[in-house]
Amino acid sequence: MTESVFPGQVNPSRDPVQIQKWMRFLVWKIAIATLLLMAVGSATRVMNAGLACPDWPLCYGQLVPTQQMNLQVFLEWFHRLDASLIGLSTMALVGLSWWFRKELPKWLPWASVGALGLILFQGVLGGLTVTQLLRFDIVTAHLGAALLFFGSLIIIAVCLTPYQGTSTAGKLSPVAVTATILVYIQCLLGGLVGSRWALHQCFGSSQLCTVMNSHIIGVFPATIATLAVVFLAWRIPALHPVLRQLAWVCGGIVALQILLGVATFRLHLQVEPLTVAHHTVGAVLFGTLLTLTTLSIRDRYSKNTQSLVAHNS
């Protein structure tokens, strides 16, 4: 027998705290799957498997091309499978956020719709990469849209996470925003280098060296901005421990990313797992910086909220 709920009581089956926790868990799961999707997409390109399935959305006209299955076909097929599951999960996120909209922040249903729009756009670009035979501009846009979708999920998840700011991150947030944007641009330049095979062509016949050199030069502003975040986090007194830890993590990731980039360059992209790791770590750096940026902005907002409360009292 179901217990009746009188006005003013909280329905235990629709506990806002528990629902928000479930939604946050779902968003993080989709974000992790998206990171895996980008890693598999990088492996697909590195292994020359971008056209292993010559048709779209099926593969050799089948849901599972068992007879044609090899490593290249598997990579492209699994990439599409992961993308489909992410799309369905995002649709579920939209449906749940609207169904439980009374128990959730008012912005969440609209943010989930925006994320759904990004993943649908991503799917269209994914189809065009096959039908347009891996045109470099479409491939690069495909990566850019994936990073934006990944970033939107991180922002949603972080905003759903309970956080009590210390109102000390005012100077950190604009620097973190700058670093995040520069790393995003650097990821796009890396994707452009890969989609045009600029490193191979530059080594072979001095063509497309401008594209490759732009990526190499872009390392400096992105690295300097990230290190500035680390420095500020170290210098700001009473900074929230989570922000300080995230800053140190960003510093470690950028050091690892530089090492992977140098190794990839020196080995002329001959070690495929190393190249995939370089691309994936770049996405992880972007996501970590975006997490720090979102929390630092929330910290700054908490300062305004505290000031408003003090003024009203």
The pLDDT tens digits of the residues spanning 121-172 come to: 999 999 999 888 888 889 999 999 999 999 999 999 999 999 888 888 878 9
Nearest CA to 90 among 37, 18, 143? 37
Range of the domain at 28: 16-162
Residue range 56-79: average pLDDT? Answer: 91
Residue 37 domain-assigned (yes or no): yes
Residues 63, 29 share a domain:
yes
**Contact 142/121 with Cβ under 8 angstroms?**
no
What is the structure's pLDDT at 200?
58
38: in domain: yes
Q: Is residue 64 part of a domain?
A: yes
Residue 68 has pLDDT above 70, yes or no: yes
Residues 118 and 220 in one domain: no
Across 268-294, average pLDDT? 92
Specify whether 148 is located in the same domain as 203: no
Residue 215 lies in a domain: yes
Tokens standing for residue 130: 């096959």
Residue 308 pLDDT level (bands cut at 50, 70, 90): very low
Same domain, 67 and 155: yes
The encoded tokens of residue 307 equal 């000031």
CA 295 to chain centre: 16
- Higher pLDDT, residue 1 or 46: 46
Whether pLDDT at 1 is above 60: no
Whether residues 184 and 119 fall in one domain: no
pLDDT of residue 301: 74
| CA–CA distance, 134 with 46 (Å, rounded to integer) | 13
Q: How confident is the model at residue 306 (pLDDT cuts 50, 70, 90)?
A: very low
What was the pLDDT predicted at 204? 55
- Report whether 151 contacts 25 (CB < 8 A): no
What does the pLDDT average to over 99-110?
Answer: 95
Is residue 62 classed as helix, strand or coil in its secondary structure?
Answer: strand
| pLDDT digits 0-9 by tens, 195-231 | 776 565 665 555 567 777 888 899 999 999 999 999 9
What is the count of structural domains for the chain?
Answer: 2
7 in a domain, yes or no? Answer: no
The pLDDT of residue 12 is above 60: no
pLDDT level of residue 264 (50, 70, 90 thresholds): confident
Q: Are residues 74 and 198 in the same domain?
A: no
Q: Same domain for 251 and 203? A: yes
Q: What is the pLDDT of residue 170?
A: 79
- My answer on whether 67 and 147 are in the same domain is yes
Residues 140 and 238 reside in one and the same domain: no
The pTM score is 0.89
- CB-based burial, 173-208: b 16+ in 10 Å, e otherwise: bebbbbbbbbbbebbbbbbbbbbbbbbeebeeeeeb
pLDDT-based confidence at residue 2 (cuts at 50, 70, 90)? very low
Domain end position, chosen among 162, 191, 222 = 162
Residue 106 has what pLDDT? 95
pLDDT of residue 207: 57
Task: Give the model's pLDDT for residue 240.
Answer: 92
Does residue 13 or residue 124 have the better pLDDT?
124
Residue 1 lies in a domain: no
Q: What integer is the mean pLDDT of 244-260?
A: 96
Residues 231, 115 within the same domain: no
Mean pLDDT of 91-116: 96
Same domain, 73 and 134: yes
The confidence band for 313, taking pLDDT boundaries of 50, 70 and 90, is very low
